[in-house]
Chain A
Amino acid sequence: MTHPSLPPSSNPSRRHVLLAAAFGVYAMCASGAQAFQDEGTVRIGSVESLTGVSSPYGIQAINGMKLAIDDINAAGGVTVGGKKVRLQLTPGPDGYDTGADSALTIALLKKQILDDKVLAVVGPTSSQSTEVGFNYLNQLVKEGNPIVLLSPASGGPNLGGISPWGFRNMFFEAQIIDRELALVSKEFGYKKAAVFTVTDNAFTASMAKFVIRPGLEKHGLTVVAEGDSLSRDTDFSRQVQALQRAEPDVVFVSAPVQATVGIMKEAARRGFKPKIWLGTVGSIAPEMPQLGGTAVEGLVIGSSYLPSSEHVKGLTAAYQKRTSSEINLFGVNGYEAAYLLKAGIEAAGIENRPETLTEDRRKLRDALTKVEIKSVTGEQIKFDAKGDTVKQGYLLTVRDGQYVEWNRKPFR
């Protein structure tokens, strides 16, 4: 039956009505029908890489974040203006997927600010996108629309301080690398080092340039050989050949998981055995010990937490139950990021109304510079002057196919 008041061409069919209804429901969800203080929610946005090459880290971060939001809401939510309100990830259920595309990250960040009207945004995932995102925050300051961008996964050095609105709760390894290099140099007496770097990865390249090489120099270790590769390289025979010829005591690997496993396996095949292998968090993945087998036994890596610690046991089990996969450092950081935001929101004194959103965002930024929380890892953490968290860290090694705390003794 057609509507009598409409011309024939405009008469809505049953299909059109259903489509309109579906669009209406979508529009309500997209605009967050339940939001702000009157409805009892605070909107938090997310721009993580959920597809593409950075997705293993982004998916961990968003899953950790969602677990934390559920835990916070189950415990009553966050206190705003004396009232308990719920944290709402916007858009649900996973926020936005940037696909590790920096340009898309900017577009989505803008959408979160203007359309989704979120209080703060979590992400991005890769150091490259984070650098772009943090620089864009400075542009937003000029436009009068800045927002807090908190990245749980990007660990590249020199990104902190780009913008006063950019925060990161990743584990920054400079301090722990300094400690481990002091150990291998002064206590073990090692003198010669080699560095292997994956050069087309912003994190691993900048770690090698700004942290590892200066650290080696500072502790009197001479770099006798350097090798490099690209992220997708699968053959490392030439690099290992060059490193082996230089006979280094220490080989520092700044590479993602596959290249780390690849170069250490090739070294094992060639019988190349430096006194110690050191790595960065870029090499950390639950499956790495299995992928590398005996070749990666003895690799020393810094981590923000001990996987065997009692503190993270509950989170590890909950993550496993929710996702059927093992949590790693990026998932833990995602979880931690939600609690940092909770502490910031509660300390900021926001009003949580649409008309106070710009001022609320500024209050949250100011509050985050001062908040201090006890992380799920058991450590007390806060942001430093550059917006990065300082974490003491632990030195792990791979032993019998597991990450365990390194006993700080030489292997060979």
Chain B
Amino acid sequence: MLVQPEWRESSDEELVRLTLKYPDAFGVIMMRYEPKLLRYVRTISRASKEEAEDILQEAFLKAYRNLNGFDTDQKYSSWMYRIVRNETISWHRKMSARAEGRTDIYSAEDLSHFASKEHIISKLEQDQLHGIVRNVLDTMDKKYRDVLILKYLEDREYKDISFILQKPMGTIATLLNRAKKQFREVAKRCGTDLELL
């Protein structure tokens, strides 16, 4: 069965149910999440675009195999983020690569979102701010950067971050606090006063 036009309007959870009957419905889920997840893989890894696509393909296949294990109390997107993150970590282990992230694949629009007044207190101009935010994120500890990326770049809620990173909510809150503190300290070392809200 080919992709039905009405499937494009379905929620993720409905698509999961549909996929169990019609595998082609999975195509709609993949198209919905491919850009975001591809960017996420590249942000948390040193993977090239091609490598990131391979990782993502494996992650989608894994998700497909495990569709019956998807907990409908969680968001499908969070489940996908968790699988993609685990797959990226496995890829790093296999490649014995350093799990350093790269923030240069974030567009100016993404960084504007991160560096918006909603998230950051700063007197800098936007363009200048983007560069500094990038540098600061690249310099931070991975565990703190991971949580900041999910919160401010991927716009995930605490509950989702807890599910994706498989850590209790309290631990996520602590990590975020420490991450904000480190963000401020690293920014200060770069000669700028930045405060994450």
The answer to whether A and B interact is no
